[in-house]
Chains A and B, each alone.
Chain A
Amino acid sequence: MYRITKKKQLNQDITLIEFEAPDIARSAHAGQFVIFCIDEFGERFPLTIYDYDRSRGTVTVVCQAIGVSTKKLCTMNVGDNINDVVGPLGHATKTKNIGKVICIGGGVGTAEAYPIAKALKEDGNDVTVIIGARNKELVICEDEIRGFCDKVFITTDDGSHGRKGFVTDVLKELIEKDRYDLVFAIGPIIMMKMVSVMTKAKGVRTMVSLNSIMIDGTGMCGGCRVQYDNQTKFCCVDGPEFDGHLVDFDELMVRQARYKDKEKLALERYGEKCRIGLGRG
C-alpha cells in the first residue's frame, strides 16, 4: 500500500498527488515513470514522475483525469492508500553537458517537462521553457518552472494567458534567431509531432517522451511498441525518451486510440456508479 501524503488540485482536471514510496524515491531520476494499479479492479497505467523526496521517501505525480483509472486516482484523498505502484521505470534523462536546451510542455505534459528542465538546469545547461495550454486555467506548473528558470514563454490557444497561439510559434522564432543543441517536447502526440517536424527541418536534435499504453512496464507485454527508425521499440524499456525525428507519430496516435470505445463504456459505468453512490473506494 502506498499512502497519499499530499494532494493539490492544479485545475479542474489536473491533480498533483504525493505518496509514500521510499523504495522508488531512493532510485528515481528525472524522466522516469511509475506504473499504478489503484485498486483490486484497477488497470495498470503509467505516469511520469514529477518529483521525489528521498529523505521523506515520497514520490509526486501530476495526473489528468481522463479515463476511469486516472479519475480514480484524482478522486483519492490524503491518507488513502493506492494498492500498487512500481518503479522507477524507463531510462533517466541524460542531462549532462548538453548546452542550450528548449523544453516544451503541452497541457499536462508541462508537469512531465518540469523535472527534466529542472535537472537540465541543475546540471548547468542553458534552459528555455515553453508552456502551452488551451487557456489560462489549464496552464500548470508556471510558478514552479519560473522558480528555477528565467526564460519562460507561455502560449494559450485563446490568448487568455501569455501569447495567443501554439508552442511551435515560439519555438520557430527561437530556433530561427539562435542555435540550440536540443529541444525536449512533452505533451500531446500531435504537439510532439509538430515540434519534431519543425526542428527536423532546422536540424535541431529533439527528444520526446512517450506515454504509451502499457501493462507491466518491464518489457514483458510489448503493448507499448513504437515504430522508431524503421524498427520496433518498446517505450517502457527502450524509452520513454526517443529522438523525435525517428518516431512514427501517426502510428502511435492510432495505437493510443485502441481502446477508445471501451474507455467510453467504462467511463459511463464509472460515472453511473459515482452518481448513485456505489463507488468502489
Chain B
Amino acid sequence: MDNNEKFTHVRMREQAPEERRKNFKEVPYGYSEEEALKEAARCLGCKKPPCVAGCPAEVDIPTFIKAIKEKRFKDAVNVIKNTNTLPAVCGRVCPQEDQCEKNCVLQKTGKGPVKIGNLERFAADTDRANADNGSGSVATIARHGKKVAVIGAGPSGLTCASDLAKKGYRVTLFEALHRPGGVLVYGIPEFRLPKDIVYKEVDEIKKLGVELKMNFVVGKTSTLDDLRKEGFEAFFIGTGAGLPWFMGIEGENLSGVYSANEFLTRVNLMKAYRFPEYDTPVTVGKRVAVVGAGNVAMDSARCALRLGAEKVYIVYRRTEAEMPARIDEIHHAKQEGVELHLLTNPVKILGDEKGNIKSLVCIKNKLGEPDSSGRPRPVPIEGSEFEMPVETVIMAIGNGPNPLLIASIQGLTTNKRGNITADDKGHTNIPDVFAGGDIVTGAATVIAAMGAGKVAARAMDEYLSSK
C-alpha cells in the first residue's frame, strides 16, 4: 500500500447512473472483504474516540473496526448490536457525514474520514449472509414479568423495543400498518434500503422475544387505558411524523397531486413499481415536479425516474446550499438526471376538468435578508411567474404530527405544532408514557429517532425499576 492510497478512503462501487435509473435494485454494492479490510486499516483506533460522541446510537466504533481489521466479523457485528439494533439499516441511511465521520480525527488532518458507515454496512451484511447459513446470532435473555408497550414499529420503536427486551421486559410492539419498519419500509425506497434487510433486522428483534402486533392502531383498536387494564405498565410512543403537509395552493387536490407519503408508500410498501403483478397502482406521466428538497423529495424524484418519467424536477424555494437532503442523495439524484429548479416556488397547479394536471405555475425567488432560521429568506420576484408543464406533482414539504393517538390520550401535553412534549430522556407529562422520534421532534433522521428510542428505553427501565 503506498502512502497516497493509505490516505484516501475506499470508494464503494455502485450501479452506473444510466443503468440504475431504470431499476429499483440497490445503488451501492457494498464493500468486498478486501475493500473492508483496506478501509478498516485506515482507522487509528483512537483511545478517546471522537467518532463515538457523534453517534446517537452510541456504537463503539473503534472496537468494531478493530474486529474487522482482525477478520473477527462476528465480533464486529456484535459490538455494533450491543447498542444499535439496526446496523444494516444505519450503515445505509445514516447521515454519517454529519455525525461519526464528521468527528473522525482523519477528517481534522485533512485526510478524509474513515468510512464508518460503509464498514458498519459491511459488518452487518456479512453477518446476515452467515445467518442465512445458520451460523448467525440468537440471543437468550432472562425475563421478568413486567409488560411494556411500544407503539409504532419504526426506527425509534424498534430500537426501544429491542433495548427493553434486552433488559428483560415483556415487550409488545404495536404497528398500524401490515408490515413492520415504519418509514424504513413505506418511505425509503428499495434502491436505497432493500426491504428484505429491514425485515431481517426486525426478525432479529423478534428473536429477542419482542411480540409484534401488526394492524393495530393504538387509539382506535385499543386505547392506552385498555392496554393499561391489560397489564401494560409503561408506554413508548414512536408513531413518527404523521400527517403530510400541503401548500394550500390552488389545484392541490387535482388527482395528479400526491403527498410524498402517499407516492412513496404506494411505490415502496405496496410495490406499485411491480404493478400489475402487485395490485397497487401509481401513475407518474412523462414529467414530474417534486416540491421540496429533503431526503424524502430526493427519494420521490428518483422513484419517479425509475417508474418511467422522462423529466423529473426538484422545485425548491432556496438554493442548493440550503437543500436539507444528504449530500449523497442530491449527488445520486443529479447523476441519474433529476433536474433542480432552485429559487423557485409553486404558486398554483393548473388542470383540466378530468383532474389531470397541465402545469405547475411557479414564481422565481431571489435571496433576501436572513430569516429566523439564519438562512437567507427567499423573496419572490414580481412578475416572474412561469408555467412548468407536468403531469404529476409530488408534495414533499414535510409532515405534521399524527393526531390520531395523541388525541385519544387525555391530558398528554403537546406543543404549538401538536408534537408531544417530552424531555431529553423521553419523559412526557404522564408518568407511564414516554415518547421519542419524529412525533416529538418533527421530521428528523432515522438515527435521531433510534437514539431517542434508546434513551427512552433507559428512562422506562428506571421508571419501572423504581415503581
Assess the A222–B279 pair: CB atoms within 8 A.
no
Contacting pair A86 B216 (CB below 8 A) = yes
Q: Which A residues are in CB contact (< 8 Å) with B262?
A: 215, 221-223
- Taken together as a complex, chains A and B put the C-alpha atoms of A45 and B261 apart, in Å, by 17
- Tell me the bound Cα distance from A89 to B248 in angstroms: 26
The binding surface of chain A is classed by DSSP as mixed
Contact residues, B402-427 vs A (CB, 8 A): 402-404
- Expressed in whole angstroms, the Cα–Cα distance for A216 and B220 within the complex equals 13
Q: Is A125 an interface residue (CB 8 A)?
A: no
Is A144 part of the binding interface, using a Cβ–Cβ cutoff of 8 Å?
no
Complex contact A237–B404 (CB within 8 A): yes
Chain B CB within 8 A of A68 CB? yes
- In the bound complex, residues from chain A placing their C-beta under 8 Å from that of B353 are 254
Report the bound CA distance from A265 to B253 in whole Å: 25
Q: How many residues of A contact B (CB 8 A)?
A: 43
Partner of B279, one of A27, A68, A226: A68
Interface readout for B360-386 with A: 1 if CB under 8 Å, 0 if not? Answer: 000000000000000000000000000
Task: Output the nearest chain A residue to B401 by Cβ-Cβ distance.
Answer: A219
**Which of A27, A84, A220 has most chain B Cβ within 10 Å?**
A220
Minimum Cβ distance to chain B for residue A238 (Å): 10
Q: Is the CB of B261 within 8 A of A27?
A: no
CB contacts (< 8 Å) of A257 on chain B: these are 255, 354-355
Q: With A and B bound together, what is the CA distance between A85 and B176 in angstroms?
A: 10
- A234 in contact with B243 (CB, 8 Å): yes
Task: Indicate if the CB atoms of A41 and B221 lie closer than 8 Å.
Answer: no
**Does A43 have its Cβ within 8 Å of any Cβ on chain B?**
yes
Q: How far in angstroms is the closest Cβ of chain B from A209?
A: 17
| B221-A219 in contact (CB<8A) | no
Instruction: Knowing A43-B270, A84-B178, A237-B403, say if A27 contacts B220 (CB, 8 Å).
Output: yes
Among residues 255 to 301 in chain B, which have CB atoms less than 8 Å away from a CB atom of chain A? 255, 258-259, 261-262, 265-266, 270, 275-281, 283
Please tell me if the beta carbons of B265 and A216 are within 8 angstroms of each other in the complex.
yes
Q: For chain A, residues 77 to 92, give those with C-beta under 8 angstroms from any C-beta of chain B.
A: 83-89
How distant is A80 from chain B, measured CB to nearest CB, in Å?
A: 17
How far does the Cβ of A22 sit from chain B's closest Cβ, in whole Å? 10
- The residues of A that contact B248 with a CB separation of less than 8 Å are 232
Does A58 make an interface contact (CB < 8 A)? no
Q: Is the CB of B270 within 8 A of A215?
A: yes
| B105 at interface by CB-CB < 8 Å | no
Given A23-B221, A215-B270, A218-B404: A262 in contact with B244 (beta carbons within 8 A): no
B253 in contact with A225 (CB, 8 Å)? yes
A239–B260 Cα distance when bound, in Å, is: 22
Is the CB of B246 closer than 8 A to any CB of chain A?
Answer: yes
B221 near A88 with CB under 8 A, answer yes
The count of chain B contact residues (Cβ–Cβ below 8 Å) is 42
- Check A215–B355 contact: CB distance below 8 A: no
Cβ of A227 within 8 Å of any chain B Cβ, yes or no, is yes
* CA A66 to CA B242, docked complex, whole Å: 31
Cβ of B270: which chain A residues have Cβ within 8 Å of it?
A: 43-44, 215
Q: Given the complex of chains A and B, what is the CA–CA distance between A159 and B52 in angstroms?
A: 78
Given contacts A87-B221, A220-B242, contact A262 B275 (CB under 8 A): yes
Task: Find A42's partner among B216, B220, B279 (CB 8 Å cutoff).
Answer: B279
Say which residue of B214, B259, B404 sits within 8 Å of A222 (CB atoms): B259
Complex: chain B residue closest to A251, CB-CB: B253
Partner of B176, one of A68, A216, A251: A216
Within the complex, which residue of B177, B242, B266 is in contact with A219, where a contact is CB–CB below 8 Å? B242
Q: How far is the CB of B104 from chain A (nearest CB, A)?
A: 37
- Chain A residues with Cβ below 8 Å from B403 are 219, 237
Task: Indicate if the CB atoms of A254 and B354 lie closer than 8 Å.
Answer: yes
With a cutoff of 8 Å between Cβ atoms, the chain B residues found around residue A37 in the complex are 178
In angstroms, how far is the closest chain A Cβ from the Cβ of B211? 14
* Contact across chains for B402 and A218 when beta carbons are under 8 A apart: yes
Q: How far is the CA of A71 from the CA of B266 in the complex (A)?
A: 20
Nearest-CB distance from A32 to chain B (Å)?
8
Judged by a CB distance under 8 angstroms, whether A126 is at the interface is: no
Does A84 lie within 8 Å of B214, measured CB to CB? yes
Nearest Cβ on chain B to A251's Cβ, whole angstroms: 6
Q: A27-B220, A232-B248 are in contact. List 12 more A-B contacts (CB 8 A).
A: A23-B216, A43-B280, A83-B178, A215-B265, A219-B404, A222-B259, A223-B258, A232-B252, A251-B253, A255-B253, A266-B276, A266-B281
* A and B contact pairs by CB, cutoff 8 A, 27 listed: A23-B221, A27-B220, A43-B270, A44-B178, A44-B280, A83-B178, A86-B177, A86-B217, A87-B221, A89-B217, A215-B266, A215-B280, A216-B176, A216-B265, A220-B261, A220-B265, A220-B402, A221-B262, A221-B265, A222-B244, A223-B262, A232-B248, A255-B253, A258-B355, A266-B275, A266-B279, A266-B281
